[in-house]
Structure 1
Amino acid sequence: MSTTASAAPATATAQATTVTHADTTEAELLLRVLGALLREDVVGLRTRTTAVDHGDGRWLRLPADDGDALLLPVVEDGYQSVYAARLPLLTRESDGRELTTHDEVLDALGALADPADRGGFDAFAEECRQTLATMRLHADTADEVAATLATGTLASGTLASQRGADPADWTGLAGGLAYDTLAARLDHPVYPTARGRSGLDEDQLRGYAPEFHPSFPLRWIAVPHQDLTVAGGPAALPAAWPTPAALGLPELDRTHLALPVHPLTVGAPLREALSAAGLADRAVLAERPYLDVVPTLSMRTVAVTDDPTLHIKVPMATATLGLRNRRIIRPGFLADGVAGQRLLETVIAREPRFQGVILHADETVHAHAGHELLAALCRRYPAGLDHAVVTPLAALLAEAPGGRLLIDHLADRFYGGDPIALLDAYLRLLLDWQTTLFGYGIALESHQQNISLVLDHGPTGDTRMRLLLKDDDSPRVNAARVRATLGADAPLGFDDPRILCDDDRPLTDMFTTITLHLCAGSYAFGLARHGRAEAGTLLDLVRDRLAEAVERLGTGPGEPGATLRAQVLDAPQLPVKAMVSAGTLLSKERSGAADINKHYTTGPNYLLRTRGSL
C-alpha cells in the first residue's frame, strides 16, 4: 500500500458519513466480506491502494483501469490484517455512488480482476446470497431454537438430555450437541460466509443442519461384501449397525453389508456415485430408514440419538467454507485419520502430563466403497464424560439462551465468574500441548471445531480442564524429526503425500494459522470486542503463555523452540489463510494452492505489540 494522501474525495466522504442501512443483516455480512477481501489482497485491495485520510477516518483508494477509482473506508484492526472495513460499502470516486450490496461490490471488484477469475466472483456472489438467506433464517428462528435447547428436546420432540436453563449444566456428549447448535449460529473468525451451505433450501436446513438441532433417520445402501472395505472387518462395526434384514432386505443378508447415506445425498448424487463406482446394478438403496441421529457442528457428522458417544461421519454433496470445500470423504482421508490418531497416542504415551488430559475420539473403524460419496467413519468418544461439560471451542463466544456468552456461563460454574481465568487455563493447556507436538515434528489442523473443552470437578472438587480431539487427518509432519524423536518405527503411514514434509515451514504455517489465530488470538480479540478485557491485556496473555511453552522446548540453536520463537513470536509478519481466494474466487491453477485449506497470504504479528498498545 502506498503512502498516505492528505484528503479523500469530498463526494465520497460526504455521502459515506450519512449512509444508513435498513437491512442490518446484509450490512453485517458485507463488512465481513470486505474485510476478508482486503485481508487476502483481492484485486490489490492491500498492495495497490493508497491510504487517504479525511474527517471521518481513513479510506483506501483502489485505481481502476478506466481512470476511475474505488474507495474503501477502513479502521485499524490487527487481527490477521492491518485494516478492516468500517462501513459496509465501496464508493466510486467519480460520482460518489455507494455500492452497498454484495452483488454490487463483487461486480465492481470482479471487473478489475483477470478475466479468467471473473467466474469466481460470480460464484462468491451466489455464496453470499445463500449466506444472507441463512443469516436471516437464523435471526427469525433464534427464540424458537433457544427454547428448544433450554427444554432439552430435539425438534422432533424426542428428549435429548436432561438440560436446564443454564447452559453450564448441559453435560455429557448429549449436552455437547446443544453447544454445537450454538456454535453453528456464530460466524467463523475468518471466513465471512461460513454460515452458508451450498445448494440447501430452508426446509433442508431446518431438517438437517445443526443450527436447528433436528433429529432424523439415516438412509442406507446394501453393498456387496467384496466391494466394501471395512477397517478391522465387519465385526468391528458398532452394535447399532443394521443388517440388510433390519433394513427390509433379508435376501441380501449373506451377500451384502450396510453403508449409511446422508438423506441429502440420496437422489442424483447417490445414483452418480454408484454408477462411477460400478455399483449401480449391485448396490441396493433400502427404502426403510434406520437409526435416528442428530447433526453435529460439521453437519456431515451425526450423533446417534440413543448413544451420543457414537458419531457417524458420512459424505454430503454440498460445500462449506468455499464452494470448492466439498463435504466428501475420500478413502485416503480415513486412513490418514487413523495414522494421525496413532501418532498422537504415541506422543501422549511419552508425555505423562498429557495422559488423561488430552483425550482423543477413536476413529479406527471406517468403511468405504471406493468413492468419495460412498464412505463412513465411526467415531467413538471416550467413556466417563457424562457429568462433564463437553463443548467445541467454536461455541465459547456464542450467544446462549438468555443472551449471555457461553464462556460467561462456564466461567460462573468453573472459574468464579471470571472468563479471563478460564481463557488463561485453556491457553496454558492448549499451547503446552501444541508446542510439545511441534517439538516432535507435528502440527495439527485442530481448529475450533475439532477440539472440545472438557470441564468438570475432579476427585478433590477442583475444576479440571481437559481437551478432546478428533479428525486429525490433515496434519503436517516433519518426518525426519518424528523419526528422530519417536524412533524409526513411528507411525507415519499417511496416504496424502502433502502431510509429510522435510522442514518446519509447513508446520509453523499450520501452527500459526490454526492454533495461534483460530484457537488463541480469536478469543483475545473476541473477548475484547465483547468488553471482557482490553485487547492489549488479552494479547499479552496469549504471548506470555506461548512464550512459556516455547521456552519449555528449548530455544538454543537448532532447537524447535528457536524455530517457533523466530517464525511465530518474533516474526515481523505471520501467515494468514487466504480462504476465500482458494476456496471460491480462484481456481487451483490460478491460486497455485496445492491445498485450498492451506493457502496463505500474510498479516501483522499481533504478538509484537508494545505494552499499552491496542
Structure 2
Amino acid sequence: MPDLCCAADDPSRLLTDAPESLGAATAGAAVRAPHDERPHEGDHDERAAELVMRDLVDTLVQENLYEVAHRRSDRVPAGLAARELGIGESWFRLDLAEGWVCFRARPVSALQSWRFSRGPVWHGGPAGAAPADRPTGPAPDRVRTLRPAELLGLLQADADRTPVPGEAPAAYAHQVLDDLRTAVEHTAATLAARRRLLAGARPATGADDEVGPSGVAGAPAPALTGPAHPLLPRPHCLLAGERLASLRNRPFHPTARAATGWTADDATRYGPLRAEAMPLAWVAVPREGTRWGSAPASEALHRLLLTGTETDALLGLMERHDIDLTTHQPLPVHPWQYDHVLAGPHRDGRATPSRRDPDGPVPLTPALGAFLPTASLRSLATASQAHVHVKLPLSVTTLGVPRLLDPGDLDNGERAESAMRAIADRDPGLRALAGICDERTWAGWSSPGAGPAAAVRPGELAAQVRLYPREVFDGGHRLVLPMAALAAHEWHLLGPLLARARSAEDWGAAQALEFFGELADAFLEMGVGFLRHGVLPELHGQNVVVVLEHGVPRRFVLRDHDTLRFTPGWMAAAGLPDPGYRIKPGDPDSVCLPTGRQLVGFLQTLGLQVNLYGIADALSRAHGIGETAFWKRLALSVDRALDRVGPPPAVADAVRHEVLRAPVWPSRLVLGPLLREGRSRQVTMPAGVGRVPNPLLPAAR
C-alpha cells in the first residue's frame, strides 16, 4: 500500500524513553520536530481577520441577531463618502445608539437577503460607541476599522443599552468574543503555515499563488509536475485533501477556525499544515477498568498503528516498567494532551497522574511512531498506511464542543455503524455508492470512580482506530479527499488538477458547474438512499470523503458515525430495528427524530446548506458564477435522486415537499445558541433551528 504522506513529508520515527513521572512534561520536547516561531506577517493577520469577519457578518444577517438584517440602511456615512462600491455591491449600514457600523455587502436571492462582500468593516461615531475592551472610541468625525470581536462587542454593548423585549440575554458573549479573537489568531497561523509549506513548491516562474482576501487566486497556479505539491490531492494520498479542508474548516461558522485551549503556536505545531510527520506519546493503562470496542484488535490496537520494530520497542519499555500486556494496555496519547492534561499540572487543580500510582497510567514514551494530523486535529493518519487513522481526545473546544472521546459515544458510534452496515448489506446500490469506515477498534480508560477530583476523567484518555476501505486508495486514477476540501478557496489549484484528471482542455465556469452537478447528483442519491431506510448520517463536509475517478465523483466514504440520526417509524417500515443507542440519563437525545420531516431537515441543513452550498460558494467566488445557477442545478439533482432511488411513498413525498415545494427550509442556528448558552459539554455542538426561504423555489432562483 503506498504511503499517505506527500513526497515532501519526512516519516521519520522517533523513540525516547520517558521519565518515571508523567509530570516531567518536557522530556519529549527535544525529540519533537521544532516549530517555526517567526512572527506572522502583517498581511496574514489582516487576511485572517477578514475571513473570520465574512463568516461573522453572514451569520449575524442570517440569524438576524441584534436585528441586524432588519436594521439595515443603505445611507452612506459622510466619513465613507470617498469610498467606492464595486459592481453588484451596496452599503450595509447599522445605526447604533451611539455611532454607526458600515460595510460593503451584496444582495443574494437564497437563504438570506445580504452577504458580506469585502472588508473592511468601519465604525464611526462618538467616544461612547467604543466597545468595552477599547475604553477610548473615535471622535465624532473619525472612522476606524473593526476586527470581528470588536464588531460583536459593539453590537452587544448596543443591545445592553437598549434590550429587545422578550429576547434571551447573551450571557456568554464573553466566550464568543474570546473565540473570535482565537479564530483570527489561528487563521493567521494557518495562513503563515500555508505559505511556508508552499515555499518549496513554487513554479519555475516564481509566481505567488497566495489567495487574496476574496478567496480568488491572484496569480497562476504552480506547475503540477515534479515533486508532489503539498496541497494537491494525488492518488493513494488523503493528506493534501485534509490540508485543503483545514483552510476552510466548517463553512459559515464564525468561530470554526478557533481551537480554544490552543495557542497559535500549538495550532501551527499540531495542525495539518505541518511539513513532517510527528510521533505520539504512549502510556500503559490497567486493563481493569478499560472499555473496548467490539473488534478483536481493540485490546492490542498499537499493532495497527506501529511498525514491527516500534511495537518491539514499546513492549520493551513496558518490560522495563515491570508490566506486560496481560495486565496493561498501551494507548497512544496526543503530545499536546500528554503535556497539558496527563502531565499536568491541571489548570482546574486536579491531581496529576503519577507512575507511583499503581492504579494509574504508566508513562512509556513521549514520542513513538509517525503520524500526520488531519483537518479535525484530533484524528491523525499513520504515515505509512493510507487507510489507517487514529482518533485521540483533545481537551480543547472547537465549534463550542470539547473534543474528548467518551467510551459511551464510541459505543454509540459502533451501534450506528452496525445499523449502516445492515442497510448496506440489503441495498447493493447504496453499498456501491457509500463506503463505511470501520470504527469498531477502540479503547478508553479513566481513573477509578471518575468524578470532579479524578486525575483522568472519562473521555480524556482513549483511542479509536479508523480503517478506511482499502480499495479507495488503489489505482492511479482515483483522488480521495474530504468534501470540505472542495469548499476551500483553492480552486486555482483544484481546477487545473481536475481538468487534467478529466482529460479536459480547460477549466472554467462551465466545467465548474458541470462538476458541481455531478457531485450533487451522487451526493443526493446517497442521502435519499439512506433516508429510504429511515436513517441519515451527518453529511457535512468533514464527515464525508469523496472518491473521484478520472476527476468525476463516483463514491463516498463515511466516517464519524456516532451522530447517525433516525426516525423510528421509517426504520420500522423498512423492516429495520433502531440503532439501540445508549443515552445517559439527563443527556439530550438529538439523534432519534420523531418525524421524517425532521430527518429530512438535517439533509437540508448539514447536507445542502453547509456542505454543498459551501462548495458552491467557493466555486462561485473563484469563477464569478452567480449562486442562482448552483441552486437551479441542485433542484435537478433532487429530482434525479428521487427517480434513481425510488424510496417508499412516505419518504419520497416528504423529500419532495420539504426540499422542493415548502416555502421555507430549516436552517442551522449556530451563533445565537453560543451567545445564549455557551460552550457545550455534550458531543454535539450548540445549535438551534431557524427558518430561511427555500432556495430551490423558482421565485428564489
Aligned-pair distance for 1:314? Answer: 0.4
Distance 1:249 1:273 in 2: 33
Identify the residue that residue 638 of structure 2 maps to in structure 1.
Answer: 546
2:690 aligned to which of 580, 594, 601:
601
User: How far does residue 147 in structure 1 lie from its aligned partner after superposition?
Assistant: 4.6
Structure 2 partner of 1:170? 234
Structure 1 residue 273 displacement after superposition: 11
Of the three residues 599, 609, 627, the one matched with 1:517 is 609
Give 1:168 deviation, angstroms. Answer: 6.1
Instruction: Assess, with a 3 A threshold, how the Cα gap between structure 1 residues 182 and 46 changes in structure 2: closer, same or farther.
Output: same
Q: Residues of 1 paired with 2:189 and 2:230: CA distance? A: 25
Distance 1:101 1:398, change over 3 A: closer
Aligned to 1:382: 469
User: Post-superposition shift, 1:391?
Assistant: 0.8
Deviates more, 1:92-101 or 1:311-320: 92-101
- C-alpha separation between the residues in 2 aligned to 1:58 and 1:463? 38
C-alpha contact (below 8 Å) 1:554/1:562 kept by paired residues: no
Contact 2:232/2:240 (CA < 8 Å) preserved in 1? no
| CA–CA distance in structure 1, aligned partners of residues 432 and 202 of structure 2 | 31
Q: Deviations over 1:304-360 (max 9, x none)?
A: 112232111001011222xx3221112222112212222222222222223333111
2:394 aligned with 1:304: no
Amino acid at match of 2:689: Y
Does residue 433 (structure 1) correspond to residue 521 (structure 2)? The answer is no
SS of residue matched to 2:571: helix
Partner of residue 492, structure 1: 580
Partner of 1:562: 653
Q: What is the distance in 2 between the residues matched to 1:188 and 1:294? A: 20
User: Residue 259 of structure 2 contacts residue 396 of structure 2 at CA under 8 Å; is this kept in 1?
Assistant: yes
Q: Which amino acid aligns with 1:475?
A: L
- More displaced stretch, 100-109 vs 434-443: 100-109
Amino acid at match of 1:395: A
2:183 and 2:581 map into 1 onto residues whose CA distance is: 39
Distance 1:169 1:22 in 2: 27
CA RMSD, 1 decimal: 3.6
Instruction: State the SS of the aligned residue for 1:222.
Output: strand
1:355 to 431, 449, 456: 431
Cross-structure match for 2:666: 575
Distance (Å, rounded) in 2 between the aligned partners of 1:445 and 1:392: 14
What residue number does 1:6 align with? Answer: none
Secondary structure of the corresponding residue to residue 284 of structure 2? strand
Which position in structure 2 is the counterpart of 1:527? Answer: 619
Aligned to 1:45: 68
- CA shift for structure 1 position 408: 4.0
Q: Is the CA contact 1:554–1:560 (under 8 Å) kept in the aligned structure 2? A: no
Tell me whether 1:139 sits opposite 2:191 in the alignment: yes
Paired AA for residue 422 in structure 1: F
Would the alpha carbon gap of residues 22 and 407 (structure 1) be closer, same or farther in structure 2, given more than 3 Å must change? Answer: closer
Residue identity (%): 22
* Alignment partners' CA distance in 2, 1:356 and 1:273: 49
Partner residue in 1 for 2:315: 245
1:455 is the counterpart of 2:548: yes
> What CA distance in whole angstroms lies between the structure 2 residues aligned with 1:107 and 1:210?
31
What's the counterpart of residue 482 of structure 2? Answer: 392
Secondary structure of the residue aligned to 1:89 is strand
Structure 1 residues 124 and 491, CA gap change in structure 2 (3 angstroms):
closer
CA contact (8 A) 1:50 1:61 kept: yes
1:107 to 124, 142, 153: 153
Please tell me whether the aligned partners of residues 245 and 252 of structure 1 are also in contact (alpha carbons under 8 angstroms): no
Q: Structure 1 residues 33 and 123, CA, compared in 2 at 3 Å: closer, same or farther?
A: same
For residues 504-560 of structure 1, give each alpha carbon's deviation from its aligned partner in whole angstroms, at most 9, with x where no partner exists. 24312211111111232222333122116443322211111112223556699x621
The amino acid across from 1:412 in the alignment is R
Equivalenced residues, count: 566
Matched residue SS, 1:308: coil
* Aligned partners of 1:213 and 1:294 also within 8 Å: no
TM-score by length of 2: 0.72
Matched, 1:89 2:121: yes
Check conservation: 1:440, 1:481, Cα contact below 8 A: yes
1:210 Cα deviation from its structure 2 partner: 0.8
SS of the equivalent of 1:528 reads helix
Name the structure 2 match of 1:159: none
2:56 is the alignment partner of 1:27: no
Cα pair 2:186 2:257 within 8 Å, conserved:
yes
Structure 1 residue 247: Cα displacement: 3.8
Write out aligned runs for 1:200-219 (5 A): 200-219=262-281
Alpha-carbon distance in structure 1 between the residues aligned to 2:292 and 2:181: 40
CA contact (8 A) 2:406 2:459 kept: yes
Q: Which whole-Å deviations, capped at 9, do the CAs of 1:477-508 have from their partners, x for residues lacking one?
A: 10121122033x45434547331122124312
Q: Which moved more, 1:529-538 or 1:429-438?
A: 529-538
Query: SS of the counterpart of 2:623?
Result: coil
After TM superposition, the score normalised by the length of structure 1 is 0.82
- Quote the offset at 1:467 in angstroms: 0.8
Find the aligned partners of 1:336 and 1:149 in 2 and give their Cα distance.
Answer: 43
C-alpha deviation, 1:51, in angstroms: 4.2
User: Shift of residue 131 of structure 1?
Assistant: 2.2
| Mapped partners of 2:540, 2:422: distance in 1 | 21
- The CA deviation string for residues 358-380 of structure 1, in whole angstroms up to 9 with x for no partner, is 11110011111151112111101
Counterpart of 1:286?
A: 364
Structure 1 pair 484–113 and aligned structure 2 pair: CA distance change class (3 A): same
Does residue 483 in structure 1 map to residue 545 in structure 2? no
CA contact (8 A) 1:398 1:406 kept: no
| Partner residue, 1:18 | none
CA distance in 2, matches of 1:167, 1:62: 40
Cα distance in 1 for partners of 2:149, 2:385 equals 45
| In structure 1, C-alpha distance between the alignment counterparts of 2:102 and 2:50, rounded to whole Å | 17
Distance 1:605 1:246 in 2: 62
Structure 2: gaps (5+ residues): 1-43, 127-139, 204-225, 306-310, 447-457
Asked if the contact 2:545/2:558 (under 8 Å) is kept, the reply is: yes
1:12 corresponds in structure 2 to none
- The answer to whether the Cα contact below 8 Å between 1:181 and 1:213 also exists between their aligned partners in 2 is no
Give me the whole-angstrom Cα distance separating, in 1, the residues matched to 2:317 and 2:178: 39
- Tell whether the 8 Å contact from 2:197 to 2:230 is kept in structure 1 after alignment: no
* TM-aligned CA deviation for residue 296 of structure 1: 1.1
2:455 counterpart residue number: none
| Structure with more contact order per residue of length (Cα contacts < 8 Å, sep ≥ 6) | 2
* Paired position in structure 2 for 1:128: 180
Among 312, 334, 345, the residue aligned to 2:421? 345
Q: Does 1:266 align with 2:338?
A: yes
SS in 2 for 1:111: helix
Q: How far apart, CA to CA, are the structure 1 residues paired with 2:677 and 2:175?
A: 11
**Residue type of the alignment partner of 2:273:** E
| Residues 470, 275 of structure 1: alpha-carbon distance in 2 compared, 3 angstrom cutoff | farther
User: Contact 2:389–2:465 at 8 Å: present in 1 too?
Assistant: yes
Task: Say which SS state the counterpart of residue 120 (structure 2) adopts.
Answer: coil
Query: In the alignment, does 2:242 pair up with 1:180?
Result: yes
Return the alpha-carbon distance in structure 2 between the equivalents of residues 532 and 339 of structure 1: 44
Gaps of 5+ in 1: 1-20, 152-161
Letter in 1 for 2:465: C
Amino acid at match of 1:439: R
Are the equivalent residues in 2 in contact too, given 1:221–1:285 (CA < 8 A)? yes
* Distance of aligned partners of 1:219 and 1:555 in 2 relative to their CA distance in 1, 3 Å threshold: closer
Aligned counterparts of 2:200 and 2:376: Cα–Cα separation in 1 = 20
Cα distance, 1:99–1:38 mapped onto 2, change above 3 Å: farther
- With over 3 angstroms needed to count, the CA separation of the structure-2 counterparts of 1:222 and 1:606, relative to structure 1, is same
Q: Once the 2 structures are TM-superposed, how far is the Cα of residue 440 of structure 1 from its aligned partner?
A: 1.7
